[in-house]
Amino acid sequence: VPPTTPICEVPSSAMTGTVVELSCKENEGSPPSSYQWYKNGVALLEKTATGGARAANVTYTMNKKSGTLLFNTVTRNDTGEYFCEASNGIGLSQKCAVKRMQV
């Protein structure tokens, strides 16, 4: 079963230095969807423990299975337009509407 349009929860504003979690979920897809977050139209990289120096300035953790995007301490640099895409390899992937987060 292809995924339906996911429901994204993106706070419209956040204080710098706080913990912020963005969530993305859809329940129709079978097999369960995996989720990819985008910021300003660019796919966010999944941060791994083995990430090199290039990932050192990454301030978030993205979980493709649960659809969460967690910022341990948001900065002004995290301000932007976010959306997520659900895909499970069947049919077309689905995106939620873009939402702006102001830090």
Q: What is the pLDDT of residue 45?
A: 85
Report DSSP state, residue 16: T
Number of domains in the chain: 1
What local confidence, expressed as pLDDT, does residue 53 receive?
A: 45
Q: What pLDDT score does 11 carry?
A: 97
41-54 pLDDT, tens digit per residue, is 999 987 655 554 45
| CATH code of the domain in which 62 resides | 2.60.40.10
Q: For residue 58, name the pLDDT band (cuts at 50, 70, 90).
A: confident
CB 4 within 8 A of CB 79: no
In a domain, residue 13? The reply is yes
Question: Looking at the domain assignment, is residue 69 inside a domain?
Answer: yes
End-to-end CA distance of the chain: 37
16 inside domain: yes
Span 26-45, pLDDT tens digits: 999 999 999 999 999 999 98
**pLDDT for the residue numbered 64:** 95
